């Protein structure tokens, strides 16, 4: 599902964020990405989302060579990849429903389909009864669930998360990870960048560790 071939990323004026990185994530795998602050985790995710382009090397997502994708095709590519951020990036002046609906509205779905899909996504994260609330009235864990519902509402085959449990206590973090597991169990490939080593040590998934833009261990699929 994801393949990096000898990928390097150097930011203008900065040092190298990724150095000759090669790895694969298989279809339907769930993988954790760890490493110290600055190791390159967010950069790796941004290359997959095409928020950044590699300086050299090739990134493939679901068989597509992203180097060959024109800027015009980027919105379509982003719709196929669900993304969850640590700080949710929710709109606090809109309801929970409207936040989750946003990707569908942008994609031009009909209102009836929007309603059906938003409610299906909210049901999966256990927030069906909160659709009319403002996210500001929800707890941190619930806000993160809204972010996850928004990420999956387009039914992406690939789900990325950047520190999705960063602000949550251990119990809520475990619940959020369990939600990702449930999406993985129905066929979604999941890649999660996290610092939460004690939490992922208890879970049976591959851990890929980055150090200074290179893979320290876990670069080979275990499926
Ligand atoms: N837009 C940018 N411009 C210049 N340098 C950048 C930019 N984004 C990241 N970097 C640098 O690239 C390196 C990798 O950063 P990145 O954010 O990918 O690391 P990270 O592992 O996600 O760190 P964290 O866990 O703190 O989020 C760092 O040295 C960082 O300072």
Q: For domain 1-80+158-223, give the CATH number.
A: 3.40.50.300
CA of 137 to the centre of ligand 1 (A): 32
- Identify the residue whose C-alpha is closest to ligand 1 atom 18: 40
The residue ranges of every structural domain in the chain are 1-80+158-223, 90-155
CB-ligand 1 contact for 92 (6 Å cutoff): no
- Identify the residue whose C-alpha is closest to ligand 1 atom 24: 37
- Identify the residue whose C-alpha is closest to ligand 1 atom 25: 37
**What's the complex ipTM?**
0.93
Ligand 1 atom closest to Cα of 18? 14
CA of 193 to the centre of ligand 1 (A): 13
**pLDDT by position in tens, the chain (length 223):** 999 999 999 999 878 999 999 999 999 999 999 999 999 999 999 999 999 999 999 999 999 999 999 989 998 899 899 999 887 789 999 999 999 999 999 889 999 999 999 999 999 999 999 999 999 999 999 999 999 999 999 999 999 999 999 878 899 999 999 999 999 999 999 999 999 898 899 899 999 999 999 998 888 776 6
For residue 82, give every residue at least 6 positions away whose Cβ sits within 8 Å of its Cβ, in sequence order, or none.
151, 152, 154, 156, 158, 159, 160, 188
Q: What H or E segment, with its residue span, contains residue 60?
A: strand 56-61
CB-ligand 1 contact for 17 (6 Å cutoff): yes
Distance in angstroms (rounded) separating the CA atoms of residues 133 and 51: 31
Ligand 1 atom closest to Cα of 195? 25
Q: What is the pTM of this model?
A: 0.94
């Amino acid at each position: 599902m994801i393949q990096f071939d000898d990928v390097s990323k150097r930011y203008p004026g900065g040092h190298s964020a990724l150095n000759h990185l090669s790895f694969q994530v298989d279809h339907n795998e769930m993988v954790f990405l760890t490493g110290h602050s600055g190791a390159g985790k967010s950069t790796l995710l941004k290359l997959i989302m095409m928020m950044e382009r590699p300086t050299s090397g090739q990134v493939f997502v679901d068989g597509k060579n992203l180097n060959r994708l024109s800027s015009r095709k980027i919105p379509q590519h982003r719709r196929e990849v669900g993304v969850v951020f640590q700080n949710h990036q929710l709109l606090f002046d809109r309801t929970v429903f409207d936040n989750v609906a946003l990707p569908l509205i942008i994609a031009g779905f009909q209102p009836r389909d929007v309603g059906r899909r938003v409610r299906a996504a909210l049901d999966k994260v256990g927030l069906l009864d909160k659709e009319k609330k403002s996210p500001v009235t929800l707890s941190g864990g619930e806000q993160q669930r809204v972010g996850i519902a928004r990420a999956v509402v387009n039914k992406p085959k690939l789900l990325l998360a950047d520190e999705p449990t960063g602000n949550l206590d251990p119990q809520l973090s475990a619940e959020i990870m369990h939600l990702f597991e449930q999406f993985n169990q129905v066929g979604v490939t999941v890649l999660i960048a996290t610092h939460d080593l004690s939490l992922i040590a208890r879970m049976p998934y591959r851990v890929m560790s980055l150090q200074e833009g290179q893979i320290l261990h876990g670069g080979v699929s275990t499926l």
